[in-house]
Chain A
């Protein structure tokens, strides 16, 4: 944790040198620095972190988290939150695998999975915009709904049948084939899907009207409304997109892991929030980057191997993640308070 504060200080110094740097970028810069430091530390102490194999598995195993981080960025940018992403992963993967076992062709199962995600997004959007529920209450209830339904469908661990058409997502594609597996550079379609989602998120947020409206809502919703921006429609788009992306993350994860269970995705909303917050998106909304969230997801993903290599019991990981979110939230708070005073 001392790294975080040290980097924050380092970040502040670099801000003073180059005046044009937005101080609100400090958390994002800190995340990048932390990620690099984590890799260097892992490499120096354990010698496995800057290998192509490590980088490959980092992306392959956590492509779902990157997608979820992009999904979570949208609501958090408006000062909201989507607590239902983990539960949507659970229900869609259980339904998808169950359908595939029953002999439904995989493409159709995937379409159904996405449709379920969309339906939950629409429900959350309706509750928030039409019935004035706070986003976290609305998505907390859709989370319970999704988790409950998925538990009704099955409480067993379901395994994808052999020769399912989910394979094309999880099959590894080698780019560099070294004699040692640890030095291979590989990726799979899951990583490609995650990359497409990141590009989509980047374009949506930084190149479209909707993106600018999202930032405007995060800055001040009343102002956005007074400016005549389509706040209501945009809120619908946000929760619709985040739930839909969650179902896409579910497809990628299910294909990679080859099975589904009703407890899949428990606590993933927290991992996604952690990624977004570590990546520098301000929890009160209005400022943040999609690419920051991707870095945040990578930082979150590197905590697991790093703590296990250090021999830290797995129970501590959640505490480390919690403390890390806390440090970043405090950091953002300090930065924004500092900005206001200026």
Chain B
């Protein structure tokens, strides 16, 4: 018993270490810097008002948090996928499909809860198809999800017959509208829902053996198979979860305007998800993940977008901006840069040595 306790203590200290790890610290620093920049350009940036119409807080930070909910969802799914050394490029399309299903069903007169349930099921189904192709057939994740990204957009268009379905004038959509625009104790409801879902995923991953199994599959699927883990089940599961969470994100994105844009809903979101995960310190090579880091990453992405808008930079520039951030973050994480100082020292030592030899 005593031994077990000490092991637990070790775990706890390692959790504390993880909390203090540089990636999170850097995320917080980046977040604060962005807020400072925004406040300089827009003095009312930090102001919070109580909006009596919506029954919640209002202000730039609140809209940022509202938008971050969808990034939280896809970033959580993407974290699990990436830690199995995979990738899910289809999240954006899955969002569009889920949104299209919900909107089209509402227009068709379906009950709002049925529409939400169906949207979630369709997302789960897309995730399961990805998972089946990758885990059972053994196809490469990025090819499989690239195909799904292509086909998903087509599917969204087929569902709405190529139109941008608009359900904003349909009666009885209040629950869905509340999910995206409502407030709980003054805080955006979608953000709270997203945080709860991330917490559930986090608890499942960290309080059960699931997280460890996912990591072991990411490090070496063959070795983990031999130790009795079923990599296929794990792989299938992470893509299914990713699809389901993408559907939730799709609901957030479409319900805020009660409209699905089959081309634009979820566009570029796969990139934001990857970026959130990378900012959070999860290696793209798999084997290790930090959901907390990814959650921070997701909020930072929402913050960067808000900064771009606040600074008055053309929205069209956003992708270029993010690309630069990805490149910088990846370059900073590259072993080459990490080893640079060590290498310089070694070279100096070698030079000194050769001089000694010469002398």
Contacts and interface: CB of A to CB of B under 8 A. Distances in A.
Contact of B319 (A138, A145, A270, A317): A145
B330 A127 contact: yes
Given A144-B271, A148-B321, A273-B146, A317 B154 contact: yes
B274 A134 contact: no
Given A152-B317, A314-B162, 5 more contacts: A131-B336, A147-B320, A151-B319, A317-B154, A322-B154
A325 B154 contact: no
B150 A318 contact: yes
Given A136-B87, A318-B151, A151 B138 contact: no
Interface in A232-285: 262, 267, 270, 273, 277, 283-284
B316 A262 contact: yes
A315 B154 contact: yes
Nearest to A152: B317
Contacts of B327: 127, 141, 145
Contacts of B311: none
B75 interface: no
Contact of B331 (A131, A148, A316, A323): A131
A169 interface: no
Contact of B284 (A134, A143, A317): A134
Nearest to A274: B150
Interface string B140-173: 1011101111110111011001100000000000
A132 B334 contact: yes
A155 interface: yes
Contacts of A316: 154, 158
Nearest to B321: A148
9 smallest beta-carbon distances between A and B, as pairs: A148-B320, A322-B151, A318-B154, A151-B316, A315-B157, A144-B323, A148-B319, A145-B323, A131-B334
Interface string B270-285: 0100100000000011
A319 B158 contact: yes
Contact of B139 (A132, A151, A321, A333): A333
Interface string B304-348: 000000000010111111111011001100111100000000000
A196 interface: no
A130 B144 CA distance: 28
Contacts of A192: none
B148 A322 contact: yes
Contact of B323 (A142, A270, A317, A318): A142
B320 A137 contact: no
Contacts of A144: 268, 271, 319-320, 322-323, 326
Q: How large is the interface on A (under 10, 10 to 19, 20 to 34, 35 or more residues)?
A: 35 or more
B65 interface: no
Contact of A130 (B155, B284, B336): B336
A203 interface: no
Which of B133, B150, B314 has most chain A Cβ within 10 Å?
B150
B137 interface: yes
24 contacts: A81-B142, A132-B335, A133-B284, A137-B326, A140-B271, A144-B320, A145-B327, A148-B323, A151-B317, A262-B316, A267-B150, A315-B161, A315-B162, A316-B158, A318-B154, A321-B150, A323-B151, A325-B147, A326-B133, A326-B144, A329-B139, A329-B143, A333-B137, A333-B139
Nearest to B142: A136
Interface of B is mostly: helix
Nearest to B315: A151
A262 B334 CA distance: 32
A311 interface: no
Nearest to A322: B151
A55 B317 CA distance: 40
Contacts of B324: 145
Nearest to A334: B137
A267 B138 CA distance: 25
B158 A313 contact: yes
B162 A137 contact: no
A149 interface: yes
A333 B139 CA distance: 7
B319 A147 contact: yes
Nearest to A148: B320
Interface in A114-169: 127, 130-134, 136-138, 140-145, 147-149, 151-152, 155
A333 B138 CA distance: 8
A200 B154 CA distance: 35
Contacts of B148: 322
Which of B87, B139, B337 has most chain A Cβ within 10 Å?
B139
B157 A284 contact: no
A330 interface: yes
A319 B152 CA distance: 8
A146 to B, nearest CB: 8
Contact of A148 (B274, B285, B318): B318
Contacts of A273: 143, 146
Contact of A137 (B137, B284, B317, B321): B284
A270 B139 contact: no
A329 B144 CA distance: 9
A166 to B, nearest CB: 25
A330 B132 CA distance: 12
B265 to A, nearest CB: 15
B90 to A, nearest CB: 10
Given A315-B157, A315-B158, A318-B154, A149 B137 contact: no
A141 B326 contact: yes
A330 B137 contact: yes
A133 B87 CA distance: 14
